[in-house]
């Protein structure tokens, strides 16, 4: 009988973000060449998303993926407005001079951050409420079984008496 060797697991190389990085560079170069005003608005408006990307160390970067869509929604309002008003750099700078534009772009990112940090508490409260309702329904069912069949069929548990 041959001896069996234990095989060491083969480590797979870590995924690199090369395709994503190439796509990002292509988008930035394309925007810079054809729509420099939109690139200016996007680069200034998406600073909170970049900050979330850099600071988020969680698996899958959940903070970044919560902040980015809302931040992008706040910025795209002004990018679309820029396109409707001619789309020059002067118009982009004029938009960036208005405090309301900064407020909308950064408040949207702030809403994403609040959403990220508040949702675990909200989900926990919902799950606790559902479990509490389920427990109450089970207790009512046990009480009705005792009333119908007697205590001998469904004796009270020691753990149930503690509640």
Of residues 137 and 19, the one with the higher pLDDT is 137
Model confidence band, residue 34 (pLDDT cutoffs 50, 70, 90)? confident
Under 8 Å between Cβ of 154 and 146: yes
Under 8 Å between Cβ of 75 and 46: yes
Q: Is 12 helix (H, G, I), strand (E, B) or coil?
A: coil
What confidence tens digit (pLDDT) does each residue in 41-90 have?
999 999 999 999 999 988 989 999 999 999 999 999 999 999 898 878 99
Reported as half-sphere exposure (CB side, CA atoms, 13 A), residue 53 has a value of 8
Domain regions of the chain by residue span = 23-116
**What pTM did the predictor assign?**
0.70
Under 8 Å between Cβ of 103 and 75: no
What secondary structure letter does DSSP report for 54?
H
């Amino acid at each position: 009988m041959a001896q069996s060797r234990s095989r060491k697991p083969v480590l797979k190389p870590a995924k690199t973000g090369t395709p994503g990085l190439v796509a990002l560079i292509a988008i930035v170069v394309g925007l810079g060449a054809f729509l420099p005003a939109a690139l200016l608005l996007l680069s200034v408006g998406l600073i909170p998303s970049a900050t979330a990307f850099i600071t988020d160390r969680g698996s899958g970067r959940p903070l970044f993926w919560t902040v980015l869509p809302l931040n992008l929604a706040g910025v795209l309002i002004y990018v679309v407005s820029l396109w409707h008003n001619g789309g020059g750099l002067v118009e982009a700078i004029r938009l960036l001079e208005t405090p309301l534009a900064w407020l909308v772009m950064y408040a949207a990112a702030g809403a994403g951050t609040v959403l990220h940090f508040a949702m675990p508490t909200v989900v926990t409260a919902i799950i606790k409420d559902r479990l509490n309702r389920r427990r109450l329904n089970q207790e009512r069912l046990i009480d009705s079984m005792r009333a119908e069949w007697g205590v001998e069929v469904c004796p009270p548990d020691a753990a149930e008496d503690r509640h």
